[in-house]
């Protein structure tokens, strides 16, 4: 609080006269707060960032040039990963010879069904001649052949079905054996390529990225944010690339959800329309 310059008593803020002696109180003007000066990045800092970006571009270009010599091995490595994933599935389709006995199964079914029907008819004929034989009647050779042939057809059909089952099991065995052979082949090739690429990676010396990022196609994706000015270092570029991938995945999920919602809305609208149509039709 201010004090009176005449008697030294305290004076309330904003009072023009002292309440003790009545002397006028001098008002001290309040100085305005200084305006802070704008802060600009020093020119040396901007130049330093430009140097870091340029060094990152030079380094990643050197990596692309070095690892591009193994581009064929990287592509084969990716292909092996896909083939291992595919042949690990027991339902993977594998091409083998010999067939699965489908024609035997088809003809066997036809002969078994047809022979079974005629066998039932022959049983009725046998019963008829059994009754007639009591009165001295006998069947001729042609009738006996007609009664025997359906049983032969039935037996042949059953034999074909058994043969088709044997060939089917043999086919499944060949498929599984071929699938296991292909799986082992690609696993062995995968191990050989992994060792070769890892040795090539170790021979590079100090590498600012992990071995899993050394595929030249991935390195080109890392270089793009640096060229666009979205990142200054390789580490920042990797983070930008991961973030872009995550955002793309989220956008794809949002698009699929929107399409699903729109489809559900169209379905609900159509159901409501037909419900109204059915309601009106009853009147």
Looking from the CA of 135 toward its CB, the CA atoms found within 13 Å total 4
C-alpha to C-alpha distance for 159 and 12, rounded to whole angstroms = 122
Q: How far is CA 35 from the centre of its chain?
A: 57
A 10 A CB-CB count for 92 gives 14
Give buried/exposed letters for 15-43 (b at 16+ CB in 10 A, else e).
Answer: eeebeeeeeebeeeeeeeeeeeeeeeeee
**Residue 128 domain-assigned (yes or no):** yes
Please enumerate, as own/partner, the contacts of 170-174 that have beta carbons within 8 Å and a separation of 24 or more: 170/98, 171/96, 171/98, 171/99, 171/100, 171/101, 172/100, 174/96, 174/97, 174/98
Count of structural domains, the chain? 1
**Residue 75 domain-assigned (yes or no):** yes
C-alpha to C-alpha distance for 57 and 63, rounded to whole angstroms = 10
Rg (CA), the chain: 46
Name the stretches of the chain with pLDDT < 70.
1-3, 5, 8-9, 11, 13-15, 17, 19-20, 22-23, 25-50, 124-147, 262-283
**Residue 200 domain-assigned (yes or no):** yes
**Residue 21 domain-assigned (yes or no):** no
Q: Identify the bridge partners of residue 216 per DSSP, sorted by sequence position.
A: none
| pTM, entire model | 0.57
pLDDT number for residue 129:
55
C-alpha to C-alpha distance for 23 and 9, rounded to whole angstroms = 11
CA-wise closest residue to 182 among 99, 98, 86: 86
**Residue 265 domain-assigned (yes or no):** no
**Residue 68 domain-assigned (yes or no):** yes
pLDDT number for residue 266:
58
The SS3 of residue 5 is: coil
pLDDT number for residue 26:
66
CA-wise closest residue to 52 among 216, 229, 217: 229
pLDDT number for residue 17:
67
**Residue 217 domain-assigned (yes or no):** yes
pLDDT number for residue 32:
54
A 10 A CB-CB count for 188 gives 11
Backbone torsion region of residue 221, taken as left when φ is above 0, otherwise alpha when ψ lies between -120 and 50, otherwise beta: alpha
pLDDT number for residue 153:
84
pLDDT number for residue 126:
63
Helices within 137-215 (DSSP H only)? 141-202
Contact 96, 171 (CB under 8 A): yes
CA-wise closest residue to 200 among 113, 82, 90, 72: 72
Tens digit of each residue's pLDDT (9 = 90 or more) over 207-242 = 888 888 899 999 999 999 999 988 899 999 989 888
Contact 94, 175 (CB under 8 A): yes
pLDDT number for residue 182:
93
Q: 115 burial class (0-12, 13-18, 19+ CB within 10 angstroms)?
A: buried
C-alpha to C-alpha distance for 66 and 72, rounded to whole angstroms = 13
**Residue 277 domain-assigned (yes or no):** no
The SS3 of residue 36 is: coil
* Residue ranges making up the domain that contains 174: 48-233
C-alpha to C-alpha distance for 160 and 103, rounded to whole angstroms = 9
């Amino acid at each position: 609080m201010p004090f009176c310059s005449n008697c030294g008593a305290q004076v309330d803020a904003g009072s023009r006269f002292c309440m003790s002696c009545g002397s006028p109180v001098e008002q001290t003007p309040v100085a305005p707060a200084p305006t802070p000066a704008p802060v600009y990045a020093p020119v040396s800092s901007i130049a330093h960032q430009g140097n870091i970006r340029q060094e990152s571009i030079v380094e990643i270009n050197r990596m692309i040039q070095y690892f591009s010599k193994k581009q064929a091995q990287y592509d084969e490595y990716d292909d092996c990963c896909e083939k291992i994933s595919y042949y690990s599935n027991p339902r993977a389709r594998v091409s083998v010879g010999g067939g699965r006995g489908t024609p035997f199964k088809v003809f066997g079914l036809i002969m078994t069904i047809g022979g079974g029907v005629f066998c039932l008819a022959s049983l009725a004929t046998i019963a008829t001649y059994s009754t007639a034989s009591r009165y001295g009647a006998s069947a001729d050779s042609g009738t006996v052949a007609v009664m025997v042939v359906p049983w032969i057809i039935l037996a042949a059909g059953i034999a074909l079905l058994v043969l088709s089952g044997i060939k089917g099991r043999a086919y499944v065995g060949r498929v599984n054996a071929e699938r296991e052979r292909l799986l082992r082949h690609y696993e062995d090739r995968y191990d050989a390529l992994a060792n070769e690429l890892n040795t090539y990676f170790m021979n590079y010396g100090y590498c600012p990225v992990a071995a899993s990022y050394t595929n030249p196609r991935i390195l080109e994706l890392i270089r793009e944010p640096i060229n666009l000015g979205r990142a200054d270092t390789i580490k920042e570029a990797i983070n930008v690339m991961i973030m872009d991938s995550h955002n793309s995945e989220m956008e794809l999920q949002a698009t699929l959800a929107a399409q699903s919602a729109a489809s559900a809305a169209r379905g609900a609208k159509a159901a409501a329309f037909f419900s109204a149509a059915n309601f009106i039709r009853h009147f």
